[in-house]
Amino acid sequence: MALPRSPVVVITGASSGIGLATALLFARRRAARLVLCGRRHRAIEAAAAACERVGSPRAIGLAADMREPAAVEALARGALREFGRIDVWVNNVGVGAVGRFEEIPLDTHRATLAANLGGVLHGCHAALPAMLRQGRGVIVNLGSIGSRLPQPFATSYIASKWGLAGLTESLRHEVRGRGVEVCGVYPTIVDTPAISRHRGNFTGHALRTAGLPALSPERVAEAVLDVAERPRRAVHLGAAHLAVPAFWMAPELAGRLSAALAGRALFRGPPERHDPGAVEAPMHASRVETRAHASRAVMPANPLRVVTRGATRGEVAAGVERADDRGGARWGLAALAAGALWLLAPRAAAQAMKAAVREGGNGIR
């Protein structure tokens, strides 16, 4: 399915990170007419202005919360009123919190599910009727490696991402043959504010994100554009997806290793009070800067400046991607080897698992 010239593209979660990188890429590469959605009015207007500077003939920034069905329907109506059609709809909203399940407030769990799964549900429901009337269109849902693997201490986030994958697969086959494509993009860790600044933290410890193997938002944006131009079922980005067969082969071992690694990563920083981050409401600028300093993240201070100056596939992105290829591949291959060991020699695998837990801990008191 070839995209029309200057396609109409709606992107949610577009004020920063993957959404902003995707909007800028569509503007620069396809001269797309854009409708951008985010929760912060000033940030989403700035994103729209940046897109017009790099090639979009018209970009609109609308403040809306994807958890609200009426707001999402209004977003779709606004796109149709302004441009008369919707060619691509990118569901990119993502929030989450880490910590022990019982210590994360129920409201935070519910807000995570409402945004990550409910927001995608609302987006698909708003976009699909217009696309069916047109007889064509592409919906791209942003999942993560968490759509394929369990992750202790991020339970509601993982539940939302598994649900997103199920929604994407089911809807894809439901609308097959009706001119609409539903596709999934599943990256590993991405170097965005959602990781370094906006994530809820209920571990009781400061989170350190610097040094994590991570993809750049620009690399994920390239995948989104590619799947919009050449629709297909799914794109899996990042070498850590090599670990997925290990989960298929030995789910118990893979889950235990995941808990041990997560506990070691999350519960060893300096003490810090619980913080809901941006899960339930957008963070004010002062809180964003405080969280960014505390995390010592590798994210640039102003991602808008980076992506608008032409570094989309340049030196900033390349260094992050190389780190993911090395660290992610090592982790994925180790998990795959562990799964094979569990099948071939379960007793030896159990002993290795006990040693790993003793060394790394699993964050349990």
| pLDDT, one tens digit for every residue, the chain (365 residues) | 689 999 999 999 999 999 999 999 999 999 999 999 999 999 999 999 999 999 999 999 999 999 999 999 999 999 999 999 999 999 999 899 999 999 999 999 999 999 999 999 999 999 999 999 999 999 999 999 999 999 999 999 999 999 999 999 999 999 999 999 999 999 998 887 755 567 899 999 988 755 567 899 999 999 999 999 999 999 999 988 888 888 888 888 888 888 888 888 899 889 999 988 888 887 654 444 334 434 433 333 333 433 333 333 333 333 334 444 555 555 555 555 555 555 555 555 555 555 544 544 444 33
pLDDT of residue 298: 34
**Closest to 257 (Cα-Cα) out of 195, 350, 347, 190:** 350
Catalytic-residue membership of 186: no
Amino acid making up residue 17: G
Q: How far is CA 16 from the centre of its chain?
A: 12
Q: Are β-strands 200-202 and 97-99 bridged in parallel, bridged antiparallel, or unpaired? A: parallel
Q: Is 38 helix (H, G, I), strand (E, B) or coil?
A: strand
Catalytic choice (26, 157, 202, 267): 157
pLDDT of residue 284: 54
pLDDT of residue 182: 98
Domain boundaries, the chain: 8-360
* CATH topology for the 8-360 domain: Rossmann fold (3.40.50)
Cα gap 241→308, rounded to integer Å: 30
Cα gap 121→362, rounded to integer Å: 34
Amino acid making up residue 326: R
